[in-house]
Amino acid sequence: MSAEENPRVEASQFAPPAEMNEMDEPGHFTQFYEEDAFLLDTVAKFIGGSLEANGGGVVIATRPHSDGIEKRLNARGLDLAAAREQGQYVTLEAAETLSMFMDAGSPDPQRFADVVGGVLARMSQDGWPRVRAFGEMVALLCAEGNLNGALRLEELWNDLGSGKSFSLLCAYPLQEFARTDDWKPFVDICRKHSRAIPTERYATLLTPDERLRIITELQQKAQSLETEMARRKQTEETLAADRIKADGVSRRLTAIIESSDDAIISKDLNGIITSWNPAAERMFGYTAAEAVGKSIRLIIPAERQHEEDKVLTWLRRGERIDHFDTVRRRKDGTSIEISLTVSPIIDGDGRVVGASKIARDITDRKRSEAVRERLLAAEQALRAEAERSSRMKDEFLAILSHELRTPLTSMLGWTRVLRARKLDEIATASALEVLERSVRPAADAKSLQIATVLDPATGPVWGDALRLQQVLWNLLSNAVKFTPPKGKIEVSLCLENDHARITVTDTGSGIPLEILPRIFDRFRQAEEPSTGRRHGGLGLGLAIAREVVERHGGTIVAESQGPGWGSTFTVTLPMMAEGLLRTPALSVDRYAASEEPVRLDGVRVLVVDDETDTRELLVTVLRDSGADATGATSVCQALEALLALNLNVLISDIGMPDEDGYELIRKVRALGPGAGQIPAIALTAYARRADRHRALSAGYDLHLAKPVEPNDLARAVANLVKRRQG
């Protein structure tokens, strides 16, 4: 809640009932009270103190309060008659005085100054310059609910006090602010006064410690009240929202009942009809005016009256009757076969108070049942086919995930290792061979000739290596996709001014000239609309490529002479500044050891994978982290290694020929203490939630999806070792 929503009054504005001589100085005070007697005592002390000190007194109050004040002043030994005759003591009736300057619920400033200011001016002229005044007019306005008028009147009192020497005491009954939403008006009123005086309960607290204690308690109560107000407000908003929803549901239910083709009837436990929808009018021939208030037996044939007795018995027990086939009688005396559903109506106390009946004409039931049976059989067949298709889809996605993730594991893994620049020449050549072997199958399948022309003088560019790789991969895959068998693709890299220029040219199907200007738009493909999307895809690749290139400060351009003439895509990227090139500690690769590498010194790991590229990658990665890593190609080799070597961690693929990773972990766990308790990681291209659950249930300690970051794999191994040691 903001300060504006929860304004507070400075603590200094609240004060205990002061000695009245403290109020000789001009000021604007307000007294809150609970009992009239306390108020009258306070005002009498306030006014009496002024009269006794040879000052003036003005009382603007209701008649009962004026009488009570004068009674107490007389008890102090004051001669009010003489004081009134000398102009020292003036009384005005509050409501009458208000009527003299109020205009449309608001006090008129000029008339207020004339009426009230005139009284004070005359007293000053009569020799009473120091005056104490008590005013009850604001309390009357507040009691009428005219808070704005009361606040405006308080302002006029303040304006009047700035030019005259008098002290003003106002009073408000505390019960006027008893509601939870009265806190803001209360604060506003307090702010209009130089001092706010608590009620008589506070007046009985004589010591400062007692007053501090009660202030602390009041602060806690105020906080609790604000919390309760917030809770109630939330509850009210929730209830209001629920009422709106309930009204909406009620309207929809009414609309459904009114538009239903089924007769919907309600009755009480005596069988008296209480509602009758339009469908009931059409079905039985009686209008709602004719049926409501009559017994439901009106439409029951004589030979079936016993059915209603049974229905009422079941209803009183709270039982529901579903699809009870019976016969009813129309207004014209003819019979109609219906299927009847009867539901008990239960009130808020859980008591059955009536019933709702839904009647459906089943004259054509046999024909409908036959149709329904045929539809049911067809639906069951479709459902079975859908379930079979769903299973096939899940199996296909699992296989697709495996086939995609498996080569990606070696491709991305060797890419990360190459970027880290930790390999010797032999290992680097092996990594490059894996990468080339991974990207050429699509081109080789179409007998495409791929040529590269790379200028060695071209240096590095500044950018996100993964995103730029995605751009080039998209251009190359498009070239392969749209180039016919035995075609040619050329990739060139050269230095052009201070930019690297990358060109991908193919002898493929080309791009229609009308599509060329919009080739980088989203969902746009390099095919004529009439041919459909023969090559698949969503048409997002080139749009993403353009956004990536432009965010790197570069450009991407497409060129083509039209269908059948191939296409050329040119990417230009700004070169890295020379100063940055000489900074060996600066890297543009976000994967190049941006985090502290995990060390596995002394940890013995067995890697089981039938894919040679993946297995060699994982062994290399683990060895780079300091581990003593060994590879195995099958379950049989893995078990032999487990029994022969003192291993710390097992990493195994799942999808392997002959025996898979699940069979391996079952055999490992069957070894018992020692080798059978080795921590095991399932590193697999089967990456669904169900695959993870199956791997963990089979006995693996951890499931990781391919491809995996080298450091993430090392961290997983380290965590398992630490867990075993702990």
Specify the DSSP element, H or E, that contains 488: strand 488-496
Question: Do the domain assignments include residue 588?
Answer: no
146 CB-side CA count, 13 A: 18
Question: What's 718's domain CATH number?
Answer: 3.40.50.2300
- Asked whether residue 414 falls in the same domain as residue 508, the answer is no
**Spatial CB neighbours of 422, under 8 Å, sequence gap ≥ 6:** 624
- Give the residues of the chain that fall short of pLDDT 70: 1-25, 163-164, 180, 201-222, 225, 366, 386, 389-445, 523-539, 577-595, 726
Contact at 8 Å (CB) between 141 and 150? yes
CA distance 134 to 73: 14
CA distance 191 to 182: 15
- Asked whether residue 80 falls in the same domain as residue 125, the answer is yes
CA distance 377 to 80: 106
**99-135 tens-digit pLDDT:** 999 999 999 999 999 999 999 989 988 889 889 999 9
Question: Do the domain assignments include residue 149?
Answer: yes
Contact at 8 Å (CB) between 574 and 498? yes
Tokens 């749009």 belong to 543
Question: Do the domain assignments include residue 387?
Answer: yes
pLDDT at 389: 60
Helical residues (DSSP H) of 192-322, grouped into ranges? 200-203, 208-259, 278-284, 288-291, 305-316
Domain boundary among 307, 332, 363: 363
Question: What's 283's domain CATH number?
Answer: 3.30.450.20
Question: What's 189's domain CATH number?
Answer: 3.40.50.300
- Asked whether residue 149 falls in the same domain as residue 34, the answer is yes
pLDDT at 408: 53
- Asked whether residue 572 falls in the same domain as residue 608, the answer is no
Q: What percent of the chain has pLDDT over 70?
A: 79
CA distance 632 to 607: 6
Token pair recorded at residue 404: 């995609």
Determine the longest span between alpha carbons in the chain, in angstroms. 128
Question: Do the domain assignments include residue 591?
Answer: no
- Which structural domain, as residue segments, surrounds residue 527? 461-581
pLDDT at 13: 41
pLDDT at 422: 53
pLDDT at 313: 87
Phi, psi (deg, nearest 5) at residue 704: -120, 140
Which among 261, 339, 47 is positioned nearest to 168, based on CA atoms?
A: 47
Phi, psi (deg, nearest 5) at residue 458: -75, 125
The pTM for the full model equals 0.35
E-assigned strands of 8-47? Answer: 27-33
- Asked whether residue 64 falls in the same domain as residue 152, the answer is yes
- Asked whether residue 289 falls in the same domain as residue 383, the answer is no
**19-63 tens-digit pLDDT:** 444 555 678 888 888 899 999 999 999 999 999 999 999 999 999
Amino acid at position 174, single letter: L
Which among 325, 330, 362 is positioned nearest to 340, based on CA atoms?
A: 325
> How many structural domains comprise the chain?
4
pLDDT at 5: 45
HEC string for 161-202:
HCCCCEEEEEEEEHHHHCCHHHHHHHHHHHHCCCEEECCHHH
- Asked whether residue 356 falls in the same domain as residue 380, the answer is no
pLDDT at 62: 94
* Sign of CA pseudo-dihedral 521, 523, 527, 529: negative
Question: Do the domain assignments include residue 229?
Answer: no
- Omega cis (within 30) before 707: yes
| DSSP codes, 529-580 | GGG--TT---S-HHHHHHHHHHHTT-EEEEE-SSTTS-EEEEEEEEBPPHHH
**Spatial CB neighbours of 98, under 8 Å, sequence gap ≥ 6:** 107, 137, 140, 141
CA distance 573 to 497: 11
Domain boundary among 363, 384, 402: 363
CA distance 84 to 51: 11
- Asked whether residue 386 falls in the same domain as residue 503, the answer is no
515 CB-side CA count, 13 A: 19
DSSP 331: T
Question: Do the domain assignments include residue 552?
Answer: yes
Question: Do the domain assignments include residue 451?
Answer: no
pLDDT at 522: 73
CA distance 189 to 201: 20
Q: Are strands 195-197 and 166-173 parallel, antiparallel or unpaired?
A: unpaired
CA distance 412 to 712: 13
pLDDT at 101: 95
Contact at 8 Å (CB) between 627 and 660? no
- Asked whether residue 337 falls in the same domain as residue 355, the answer is yes
- Asked whether residue 61 falls in the same domain as residue 191, the answer is yes
Domain boundary among 328, 363, 398: 363
- Asked whether residue 141 falls in the same domain as residue 92, the answer is yes
Specify the DSSP element, H or E, that contains 107: strand 106-107
Reported for 637-643, long-range contacts at CB under 8 A and 24+ positions apart, including other chains, are 637/608, 638/606, 638/608, 638/664, 638/668, 639/664, 639/667, 639/668, 641/606, 642/606, 642/668, 642/671, 642/675, 642/678, 643/671, 643/675
Which among 133, 359, 367 is positioned nearest to 260, based on CA atoms?
A: 359
- Asked whether residue 376 falls in the same domain as residue 273, the answer is no
pLDDT at 541: 79
pLDDT at 590: 39
Question: What's 493's domain CATH number?
Answer: 3.30.565.10
Question: Do the domain assignments include residue 104?
Answer: yes
